[in-house]
Amino acid sequence: MIETWIIEDNTSYSTLIRSAINQSDWCTCEHEWTTVADALKYLSKGDIPDVILTDINLPGMNGIEGIKEIKAKIKEIEIIVLTVFDDNEKIFDAICNGANGYLLKSSSPEEILEAIKTVVDGGSSINAGLARKVFNIFSSLKPAEHTYGLTKRENEILNYLVDGKTASEIAKVTFTSPLTVQTHIKNIYTKLQVNTRSGLVSKAIKEGLISKGGKKLFGNGL
Amino acid sequence: MIETWIIEDNTSYSTLIRSAINQSDWCTCEHEWTTVADALKYLSKGDIPDVILTDINLPGMNGIEGIKEIKAKIKEIEIIVLTVFDDNEKIFDAICNGANGYLLKSSSPEEILEAIKTVVDGGSSINAGLARKVFNIFSSLKPAEHTYGLTKRENEILNYLVDGKTASEIAKVTFTSPLTVQTHIKNIYTKLQVNTRSGLVSKAIKEGLISKGGKKLFGNGL
DNA sequence: CTCAAAATACCTAAAACTCGGTATTGCACT
DNA sequence: AGTGCAATACCGAGTTTTAGGTATTTTGAG
C-alpha cells in the first residue's frame, strides 16, 4: 500500500485529490498539510510516506524550498509537484531541488494516480507539454559554440588560465618561455575582447570555451 | 498526414518501424536513410518531413551531430532519438542539441507512434525511466550551496570581480577606497582558498557563488 | 549596553599582469 | 617560391595583484 501526503493550502482542492487517492485500492492519503513546516514536524516524528504531493505557492516556506528540506531529511520520499505554475523557472527550480514529478493542477485524478505509480516505480512523471519545456531549458543551457578563432595552443593555455595558473606556471607545464605564454594570452585577450584575467576566465566559462578531453562542458563540470 | 523519415543503419529494424508507421492511417514513412548525410542531401532538395526518427550510433556522422545539423537547416522538424543507449551523457547531449523526444529501441510500435503524435502536438516524448534520468541530470547541475562564510560585502565584491573589474573599479562603484576592496579580496581569497584572481573567478562560477538578484545562477546565466 | 563580527582604511615589497611593440622559425597551401 | 598563419621569444613602462601586516569605525545580536 502506497502512503501519500498532500501539502496544499487550498483545502477544498486537497480534499478532492485526497478522496480520489483513497478511492484507489493500492494507494492511501492519511495526511494533508497546509504548510511545509507542518509536514516537516510530522516527518520528524517518524511517520514517513512514500510520496508527497506538494503545491508551490504555500504560506510560509514555499514548495520549492520545501522539496529541498524534505529531501534533506529523507531523500527516499518521492516528491511530486502539483501546481498551476508552468513557467520555466518554477519547473527548473523544482527539478533542481529534487522533485520527482511535476504535474499541473489541471491534471485529472487518473493522471495524478498514474504519476504516483510512476514515481514509486522509479520513474519521473511529467506530461508531454512540460517535458517540452524541460527539453528547451536543457538546450538553452548549451552555450553557443563561439570559438573566437582560438588556435590549439591558445585553447590549451586558456584552459590553464581557467585553472588559476599564472603565466610562468603555464610556461613550465608547456615547456615554453613565460614570455611566449604572455604573448599567447595577449592574443587571446584580443580575440575574446577582454582586458583582465578575471574577465577572460569569466567569459571562457560562461561561453563554454573550456574543453575537457575535447568535450565542451558547463560551468559545473558536466 | 504526418510525414516521417527514419535514419537507422540497421535496415531490418528500420523496415520494421517503417511498416508499423505505414500501418497507421495518420502517419507515413516514405524515406529511410542509413546515414545523416543521405538525409541532409535529400533535405536540401526541398522534401521536408514533419518528424525524423534517428539512431545515435550511425556510420559517418553520429545521430547527436545529426540532430544539430538537421535543426540548423530546418528547425521546425521534430526529431525523436531512437536508440539503445540510455546513459546520461547521450541523453544530455541529444536534448541539448535539440532532440524533441528520446525513445529506447525496446519501445513498442504503439509507443513510437504515440511519441510521433506527441511531438507534432508540441510536446516532448520521453518515458518515465528516462525522465528520471533527465531529472537527475538537472539536479546534479545545481551546484552544492557552499557559501564559504562570505559576508554580504564580500559577496558583492566577488560579483564585480567575476565581471572582470579591477579593485579600483570596484572601489569606484562601491564608494570605498581601493585599499578596502583589496582587503575584502584578500579575505575572500582566504575563505575560498585560492591565490589568483582567475582561480577565484573560476571557483566562484563553477560553484555557483554568483548571485543575480538574490538568485543563484549557472555558468551560462540561467 | 556590550561584545564580536564586519567593514573600513592604510603600509610595503615582491610578483604578476597589461599593452605597445618587434622578430624568428616552421609548416601548410598554392 | 611565395604567402599566411601559428608558435615561439623578447623589451619596456606602467598598472594591478598578492601577501604580509596593523588599526579604526560600524553594525548586529544577545
Q: Which of residues 162-181 of B touch strand D (CB under 7 A)?
A: 166-168
B36 to each of B15, B40, B101, B115, how far by Cα in Å? 17, 6, 18, 21
A183/A151 Cα distance (integer angstroms): 13
Helical (H) or strand (E) element with B188: helix B178-192
A198/A189 Cα distance (integer angstroms): 11
For residues A39-60, average pLDDT: 94
Site of grid cell 533542481: A96
Minimum-distance CB partner of B202 among A127, A128, A201: A201
A158 touches A188 (CB < 8 A): yes
> What pLDDT, on the 0 to 100 scale, is given for residue A46?
87
Strand arrangement, sheet containing B51-54: B27-33, B2-7, B51-54, B78-83, B101-104, B125-126
* Shortest CA gap A1–chain B (Å): 21
Whether B128 contacts chain A with CB within 8 A: yes
For residues A179-196, average pLDDT: 95
> What pLDDT, on the 0 to 100 scale, is given for residue A220?
40
Q: What is the pLDDT of residues A14-30, one digit of tens each?
A: 999 999 999 999 999 99
* Whether B195 CB is under 7 Å from strand D: yes
Whether B92 contacts chain A with CB within 8 A: yes
Q: What is the pLDDT of residues B35-90, one digit of tens each?
A: 999 999 999 998 899 999 999 999 999 999 999 999 999 999 999 999 999 999 99
Three-state secondary structure call for residue B176: coil
Query: Torsion over CA of B38, B40, B42 and B43, rounded to 10 degrees?
Result: 160
Spacing of B184 CA from C3 C1' in Å: 23
> What pLDDT, on the 0 to 100 scale, is given for residue B171?
95
Tell me the average pLDDT of chain B.
92
* Whether B180 CB is under 7 Å from strand C: yes
pLDDT at residue A108 tops 80 = yes
The bases of strand D with some atom under 7 A from any protein CB are 5-11, 16-23
* Cell numbers representing residue B204 in the block: 566562484
Tell me the average pLDDT of chain A.
91
B40 to each of A130, A198, B46, B67, how far by Cα in Å? 30, 42, 10, 11
* Cell numbers representing residue A41 in the block: 514536524
From the list B80, B101, B73, the residue with the least C-alpha distance to B7 is B80
pLDDT at residue A100 tops 90 = yes
Q: Which residue of B has its CA nearest to A68?
A: B139
Phi, psi of B191 (to 5 degrees): -65, -40
Residue A211 pLDDT grade (very low, low, confident, very high; cuts 50, 70, 90): low
Domains, chain B, in order of start with CATH, read: 2-141 (3.40.50.2300), 152-216 (1.10.10.10)
Looking at residue B8, its amino acid is E
> Best residue in A198, A206, A209 to probe B by mutation, most B CBs within 10 Å?
A198
Q: What percent of chain B lies above the pLDDT cut of 90?
A: 86
* Cell numbers representing residue B108 in the block: 513498442
| DSSP string covering B3-54 | EEEEE-S-HHHHHHHHHHHHHSSSEEEEEEESSHHHHHHHHHTT---SEEEE
Whether A221 contacts chain B with CB within 8 A: yes
* Whether A153 CB is under 7 Å from strand D: yes
B18/B32 Cα distance (integer angstroms): 8
CA angle (B64, B70, B75) in 5-degree steps:
115
For residues B117-139, average pLDDT: 96
For residues A119-130, average pLDDT: 96
Q: Which of residues 131-170 of A touch strand C (CB under 7 A)?
A: 166-168
Three-state secondary structure call for residue B135: helix
* Cell numbers representing residue B175 in the block: 564608494
Q: DSSP letter for B170, please.
A: H
Minimum-distance CB partner of B134 among A134, A139, A166: A134
> What pLDDT, on the 0 to 100 scale, is given for residue B147?
84
| DSSP string covering chain A | -EEEEEE-S-HHHHHHHHHHHHTSSSEEEEEEESSHHHHHHHHHTT---SEEEE-SS-SSS-HHHHHHHHHHH-TTSEEEEEES---HHHHHHHHHTT-SEEEETTS-HHHHHHHHHHHHTT--EE-HHHHHHHHHHHHHHSPP---TT--HHHHHHHHHHHTT--HHHHHHHHTS-HHHHHHHHHHHHHHHT--SHHHHHHHHHHTT--EETTEE--TT--
| Cβ contact A162–B202 (<8 Å) | yes
Residue A210 pLDDT grade (very low, low, confident, very high; cuts 50, 70, 90): confident
Residue whose CA lies closest to nucleotide C6 C1': B151
From the list A40, A49, A42, A57, the residue with the least C-alpha distance to A21 is A49
Q: What is the pLDDT of residues B105-121, one digit of tens each?
A: 999 999 999 999 999 99
pLDDT at residue A222 tops 70 = no
For residues A193-205, average pLDDT: 95
pLDDT at residue B221 tops 80 = no
Spacing of A112 CA from C16 C1' in Å: 61
From the list B98, B109, B23, B37, the residue with the least C-alpha distance to B64 is B98
Q: What is the pLDDT of residues A133-153, one digit of tens each?
A: 999 998 887 776 788 999 999
Cβ neighbours of residue A46 closer than 8 Å, sequence gap 6 or more: none
* Shortest CA gap A44–chain B (Å): 24
Helical (H) or strand (E) element with B172: helix B167-174
pLDDT at residue A219 tops 50 = no
A134/A6 Cα distance (integer angstroms): 24
B115 to each of B80, B89, B100, B135, B160, how far by Cα in Å? 8, 22, 10, 19, 47
